Amino acid sequence: MLPLVGWSQPPAPVVGDSWQGSLRFVEDSVWVGYPTPVVLTVRYPQDWQVLLPDSAASFGPFEYDRHDYFPTQTQAGISFDSAVYYLATFEVDEVQAVSLPFQVISANDTATFWLGTDSIGFWDVVVPMPDTLNFQTGELLVVLDKEFNTPYATVIFIVVAVLLVVLSLLFAKPLKHWWKRQRLQRQHEKWLERLDQLTGALATGEGRGTVPEQWINHWKKYLEQLEGRPYTKMTTRELAGFPEAKDFLNALKQFDRAIYGRRITPELPQEAARLRGYAVGRYEERLQHLDQ
């Protein structure tokens, strides 16, 4: 990017009949394309309604980047407003100036007052390169790196690859079995923890309207995941077709009465224990099958 340095002198304040204001650049140097701050200040009677320039104002030849407004300060009937505008330029003229107005709003009219002009000068500080370059001659010994032993590295790579293959063949099956068993145990422990919480709520009568449905859904989802059968999509009548349905059918009917008929019987926690035992038994059978 072309670096340019600028100079600026603080302009004299502009004084109107009832107001006083100024507009000035803060910095004395600038890079082309980088925003430089310009400070606007104005003092006016307290009863005036004043609008300072916003992003829609004309800042030519500069381009608007952003601005910061500061709260109005009033003392002895005189208000003071200030703002900082960040303006960037892509021109390379030696002198560039900016002038900004402010407006006074009344019930019948809008008056515009100009705060004068401040300018900043630019000049190129890029040092021109000569057309020709002078080269110095000399000798410098450089120690070169040793050549990489490709055949030796290839042999090492092949040996390591063979060892990895042998180890994977020897331990892949035990590791896979261990990982499956650990995952199954973690899932079972997490399921039991939540199931026991719901069972406790059944026994104490907390949340009788929703707890039975939560309990049976939790039980069905676990068995569906454990066995791969669609427990959650089947009704009690459909589940009765399972060969082992005699172990849990009566318990499911008790839960149906609690869910759909709002009939909570004292035997419901006992039936919940029966369903819990059935699921634990299926889990233990799955572990035995996995260990075979």
| Predicted confidence (pLDDT) per residue in 83-111, tens digit | 999 999 888 887 888 899 999 998 788 88
CA distances from residue 135 to 132, 138 in whole angstroms, order as listed:
10, 10
In which residue are the tokens 């172990």 written? 247
Q: What is the chain's mean pLDDT, rounded?
A: 84
pLDDT at 276: 94
The average pLDDT across 132-145 equals 69
| Predicted confidence (pLDDT) per residue in 143-165, tens digit | 777 777 888 888 898 999 888 88
DSSP assignment string, 203-236: HHTTTTTTHHHHHHHHHHHHHHHHH---GGG--H
Residues in the chain: 292
The average pLDDT across 28-49 equals 88
For the chain, which residues make up each domain, given as ranges?
Answer: 4-124, 166-287
pLDDT at 4: 46
The rounded distance, in Å, linking the Cα atoms of 210 and 255 is 11
Q: Which CATH architecture fits 4-124?
A: Sandwich (2.60)
Q: Which residues neighbour 177 within 8 Å (Cβ) at sequence distance 6 or greater?
A: 290, 291
